[in-house]
């Protein structure tokens, strides 16, 4: 797939316009969006991704479109898991609900910038060293095993070195004030509000999540443009999804199992692709093992959709049974 420079510039320009409009809307009227408002925006971004993929199919062919849809769905599902940690961060720093939109939006902007750098580095690495797929595949399988051993809970969120450094270096007030980044005290001293620390926490935490999501999508497509746009569409609707799902996140008890299976599946897919393009001298004399099975993109899409669907339905069914049991066990 040959992506011209003007396509990149047009895509980045559209992204900047959308983020600017979002910042203006959120900055002018900080509020907690209703379920209807959040649902409308989530539907808008999902529809936008579907239209983008359809346009990709008409212009560049349906194979790249299939890769985009599969990559976007994978990134979106992994982003849903990230919302658990975002909720923990909001609670840990006692962020008022009306300011959480702004925190998430700035955090997402930071995440897009950092993920863009990750994608560029990953694409350059893959182009030069095809054997890196062995490492990506092994890492995804390891991540899947880690997810199965135990989900991420509140006790697992720890302030990273950048957050601790920011707290130590910047003078931070105790109040969020009106949701601004800085505030001037009665003595005339300018202080940063806790908004700065929370935004750093959101941005850097998402960067940690990118360590498994970026290798995962490179297991689906090697085209940097598709990797980048899939990440953009997955992250753009994340803020509204945070408010739409709300307490529903706690009911997705089997989500980690589903995501673990998806990551392990993509890890195996990467390993098989690495065998096909093998250049390591100690494996088959540096030649590819063409007898290794290839997993087509349509099968990857079906496996991911099926796994996430089963995990969601099973989670909601279990939560419903648990609630009914609690009602029966509660004394009248």
pLDDT digits (tens, 9 = 90+) for 24-80: 766 566 667 777 877 888 888 889 999 999 998 998 888 889 989 988 988 888 777
The model's pTM: 0.75
Mean local confidence (pLDDT), 101-123:
78
* Burial status of residue 172 (CB atoms within 10 A of its CB: 0-12, 13-18, 19 or more): middle
Mean local confidence (pLDDT), 147-171:
68
Query: Is residue 197 over pLDDT 70?
Result: yes
Q: What pLDDT is recorded for position 150?
A: 65
Q: Are 213 and 230 in contact (CB under 8 A)?
A: no
Q: Which helix (H) or strand (E) holds 53?
A: helix 35-60
Q: What pLDDT is recorded for position 154?
A: 42
Q: Considering the chain, what is the average pLDDT of its residues?
A: 79
Query: Is residue 203 over pLDDT 50?
Result: yes
Round to whole Å and give the CA distance between 250 and 308: 16
Q: What is the DSSP letter of 29?
A: S
Q: What is the DSSP letter of 172?
A: B
Q: What's the pLDDT tens digit per position in 237-259? A: 777 787 777 656 667 778 788 88
Mean local confidence (pLDDT), 169-182:
76
Round to whole Å and give the CA distance between 235 and 304: 18
Round to whole Å and give the CA distance between 260 and 149: 10
Q: Which residues contact 81 (CB under 8 A, 6 or more apart)?
A: 152, 209, 255, 256, 259
119 C-beta neighbours (distance < 10 Å), count:
20
307 C-beta neighbours (distance < 10 Å), count:
18
């Amino acid at each position: 797939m040959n992506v011209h420079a003007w396509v990149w510039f047009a895509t980045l320009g559209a992204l900047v316009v959308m983020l600017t409009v979002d910042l203006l809307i959120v900055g002018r009227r900080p509020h907690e969006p209703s379920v209807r408002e959040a649902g409308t925006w989530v539907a808008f971004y999902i529809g936008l991704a579907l239209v983008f993929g359809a346009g990709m199919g008409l212009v560049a062919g349906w194979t790249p479109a299939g890769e985009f849809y599969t990559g976007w769905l994978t990134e979106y599902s992994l982003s849903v898991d990230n919302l658990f940690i975002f909720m923990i961060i909001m609670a840990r720093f006692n962020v008022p609900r009306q300011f959480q939109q702004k925190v998430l939006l700035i955090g997402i902007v930071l995440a897009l910038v950092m993920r863009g750098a990750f994608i560029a580095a990953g694409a350059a690495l893959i182009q030069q060293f095809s054997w890196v797929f062995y490492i990506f595949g092994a890492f995804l399988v390891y991540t899947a095993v880690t997810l199965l051993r135990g989900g991420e809970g509140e006790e697992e969120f720890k302030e990273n070195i950048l957050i601790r450094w920011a707290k130590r270096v910047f003078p931070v007030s105790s109040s969020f004030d009106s949701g601004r980044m800085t505030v001037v005290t009665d003595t005339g001293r300018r202080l940063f509000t806790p908004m700065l620390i929370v935004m750093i926490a959101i941005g850097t935490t998402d960067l940690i999540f990118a360590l498994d999501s970026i290798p995962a999508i490179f297991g689906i497509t090697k085209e940097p443009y598709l990797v980048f746009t899939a990440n953009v569409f997955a992250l753009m609707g994340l803020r509204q999804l945070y408010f739409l799902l709300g307490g529903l996140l706690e009911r997705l008890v089997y989500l980690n199992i589903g995501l673990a299976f998806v990551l392990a599946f993509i890890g195996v897919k990467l390993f098989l692709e690495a065998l096909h393009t093998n250049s390591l001298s100690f494996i088959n004399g540096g030649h590819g093992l063409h007898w290794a099975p290839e997993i087509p993109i349509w099968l990857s899409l079906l496996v991911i959709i099926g796994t996430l669907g089963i995990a969601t339905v099973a989670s909601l069914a279990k939560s419903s049974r648990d609630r009914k049991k609690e009602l029966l066990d509660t004394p009248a």
